[in-house]
Structure 1
């Protein structure tokens, strides 16, 4: 049996704050209904794990959701959150919790600057909510963990889409349940389109493909196994909800929107046959200029948009996208196709950053787990929804230094800020990594490292979260809240 140190090292705070099998929660937050749902969903099916051979199934592309109505200045969508049984493993039906009953919810492709209202109806037997990850939205539409949709009820969320075009995603953020709900399927793409992208002639339409990456542990009967300490056993890699699938492509350029929705795994992605990827965007949209990448690293919640040119490939060629742990997805070149797309040398202007070593640091943020107590901290405190950790002036700009103190167990963390996109200034005094020159909302902070970011806060007021997006860490307490004030 794994001891606590091995669990924490292998899977982060894979205990999710568990000590002796009990989740350490503030007493006032332990809702009985949630606890019962938590207990039921943690019952591990009997039998050994199940994982198919790679490349047996085709990767689906998530369906695009159409508005139920459109008006002069707003599009209205309806989303149902419900349990269903879907085929993930070949020939096996697996129960998931999802938007539209799918493991990967429908994609919303929305126009920059055009308002969207989404009605979410909760068809589950437990409370849920929805957070638009990367969205610049009012506090009452941000999916605050205690702003819940009770079973059988509905809630309307408004998204102004006033930010630049970007690959965002939506997911559950229910307090203490977000890790399990996301693991079981409560997530989908939200793509803001428009602006100047058309003139760039990047690959579009059928050649613009969102790919959601995660990992899972399947029991022998095909059911999803969830327990916070089970992270090391989530060895089946999924692309758009299917295990290590193949995807037919034509011999031309493709734009792939890569998103890591796993609870803990950081993907280290590369193509075989010495092929490279050209990264054109990160969390908050286009980079200033494209960056040729031999590999792309995505921690949970991060996105990278890459262009892959299959033009030089011959019919019948197969190109595998690999993680360090094994193959993720195989691209099968099956057809020729005309291609008038391109990747221009300049994608969009962004303001210059301060010179390295210049400027002050306004806030110090530290990340740390306590293996003895099974808790996770930001600045030595576990999350308390009744406490405001910092107050920030509306429209102000701050520089934060985020430091990972977990050097003794070599445990990585990341940090996601709600409401804002930020710029990475430096990593331990050195320039940001390739592909980090654009806007970000989630940043990987390796053990012992420090990252400085420049954050500009917009017009919205209210309480917003910042937390580790390795969700078992977040559940264990590595979450805090800021209040934006006039």
Structure 2
């Protein structure tokens, strides 16, 4: 990682960075090609060992909205128990899951902008857990730092390894870790723009298998101004959590962990070092579902909750006509104005707020949501079946929001360079930021509260990079203007192979220790994470 002030002076250099961004990209591509073997595709696909259902037969589930246990004192309080259940995901097949409150996805929390929420999580799973509200402007003590563990009953903190490496668990401990037993309160001020967030496990070195087993749920923030726009709402607003999985012969979720107990040895087997892909596409926990819709506009709140799979989504009618995907929002809320797409790329952890108009589709016909990056069964995502003609009083305003930040390059007090690439860590394969694997005891970036910075990032293969605490705007891709889907305020940016991207952000909100990392969850678990200290 390299930091410069606004005049371009180098303040410090860390090991592993040298030369121009182009040289870093070339070196990284070579290293990653050797590691991943398929450098243009991030991940290898698991094949299910049970019969898979035909597409578009299972109804789309809508995750339940969690009721608060208390609303006293201006704070909404919720309680969630993390526990194992067995559920039917594939028809007629029983699958063990790790869940929030017994469901996959976990229950949705709906909040009002500026009204604080406290969620008490109780860990009844067989391993420690951590909860991160992805996209939340959250004080550090509730952000879900990977070593701030909630231990199951009976675990001994003193014997718990932390900061361990990829093989023998013999590594440094994190002196700042805050560890609790059985329960922990996470408090979210939610003083931020209305948007779709999601919560998921963030335990160090085991995020990928924990999410894969079911630890993910949605959190919506709303406010009066957004509700006054006249956008589709009620039953015509659909949350869509898209995730891929694979199933073993006994119905369990297949995953290539080195240690299936997720206790002593993190990581995955060699073919899956670049990421784990499944051959079943789930939406809200159902395989290739179908949803009955009116001939009207629908608001789709789309989350890519896959570990490593990228999608290019398109909505196609039975007669081959593509419908417009009108983007109205990004990770961190509404755009200034709508952007129309025919194909919408979405990387792991990205969210898009999209409107699709079914009014021109004949009653009884179907619209398929397809993935242009998929093949075979993974090309299908879900379908909508138009059931009736209706009167639709929703609208898409030309101006959606006027509160987007207007940061300029001249506002930046420093520029930082980062490389995201494959490399060696602890004698094995890993994924590195600036040539270094994650170390919870090391501060990688120190930023002052309120400072505006420009970050320049370069990738070897696909890396969806997520910043905790703050949103950012995309300034450029490889020296060219941002792509249409880069509009708005984001917290996750998809870096493509060999690409350099510039983003700009302001580090506001709270002081403390945060993270930035790749949200290919296997990359994250194998070292591609760094500390961000706000002072």
| TM-score, length-scaled by structure 2 | 0.80
State the shift of 1:453 in Å: 0.6
Deviations 1:10-54 (A, max 9, x none): 763769xxxxxxxxxxxxxxxxxxxxxxxxxxxx99x93543221
Q: CA separation of 1:129/1:256 partners in 2, compared to 1, >3 Å: closer, same or farther?
A: same
Q: CA separation of 1:439/1:233 partners in 2, compared to 1, >3 Å: closer, same or farther?
A: closer
Matching of residue 314 in structure 1 with residue 362 in structure 2: yes
Contact 2:137–2:509 (Cα < 8 Å) also in 1: no
Residues of 1 paired with 2:384 and 2:103: CA distance?
23
Partner of 2:286: 242
Partner of 2:192: 163
Matching of residue 450 in structure 1 with residue 451 in structure 2: no
State the shift of 1:468 in Å: 0.2
- Aligned partner of residue 180 in structure 1, secondary structure: helix
Matching of residue 381 in structure 1 with residue 425 in structure 2: no
Residues of 2 paired with 1:6 and 1:150: CA distance?
34
Which of these residues, 302, 311, 336, is aligned with residue 288 of structure 1?
336
Deviations 1:427-470 (A, max 9, x none): 11211111322110000001111111111111311110100000
Which of these residues, 448, 451, 461, is aligned with residue 393 of structure 1?
448
Residues of 1 paired with 2:42 and 2:428: CA distance?
14
Partner of 2:323: 275
Aligned residues: 448
State the shift of 1:73 in Å: 1.2
State the shift of 1:71 in Å: 1.5
Which of these residues, 165, 186, 192, is aligned with residue 215 of structure 2?
186
Q: CA separation of 1:10/1:434 partners in 2, compared to 1, >3 Å: closer, same or farther?
A: closer
Which of these residues, 237, 243, 247, is aligned with residue 218 of structure 1?
247
Which of these residues, 291, 295, 307, is aligned with residue 263 of structure 1?
307
Deviations 1:206-245 (A, max 9, x none): 1111000011111233210011345565111111111111
Residues of 1 paired with 2:113 and 2:487: CA distance?
22
Deviations 1:63-91 (A, max 9, x none): 00010111131110011111101111011
Q: CA separation of 1:358/1:108 partners in 2, compared to 1, >3 Å: closer, same or farther?
A: closer
The gaps in structure 2 that reach 5 residues or longer are: 1-32, 154-181, 257-267
Contact 2:370–2:381 (Cα < 8 Å) also in 1: yes
Contact 1:165–1:195 (Cα < 8 Å) also in 2: no
- Please report the RMSD computed on the Cα atoms of aligned residues, expressed in angstroms: 2.2
Q: CA separation of 1:48/1:136 partners in 2, compared to 1, >3 Å: closer, same or farther?
A: same
Partner of 2:229: 200
Contact 2:196–2:331 (Cα < 8 Å) also in 1: yes
Residues of 2 paired with 1:420 and 1:202: CA distance?
26
Residues of 1 paired with 2:250 and 2:389: CA distance?
41
Contact 2:414–2:452 (Cα < 8 Å) also in 1: no
Residues of 2 paired with 1:94 and 1:102: CA distance?
12
Q: CA separation of 1:431/1:315 partners in 2, compared to 1, >3 Å: closer, same or farther?
A: same
Residues of 2 paired with 1:450 and 1:49: CA distance?
41
1:403-414 matched pairs, under 5 angstroms? 403-404=458-459, 406=460, 411-414=461-464
Contact 1:10–1:232 (Cα < 8 Å) also in 2: no
Matching of residue 475 in structure 1 with residue 525 in structure 2: yes
1:87-102 matched pairs, under 5 angstroms? 87-102=88-103
- Aligned partner of residue 39 in structure 2, secondary structure: helix
Which of these residues, 461, 465, 474, is aligned with residue 424 of structure 1?
474
Contact 2:473–2:489 (Cα < 8 Å) also in 1: yes
Residues of 1 paired with 2:99 and 2:50: CA distance?
23
| TM-score, length-scaled by structure 1 | 0.88
Partner of 1:35: none
Residues of 2 paired with 1:126 and 1:8: CA distance?
33
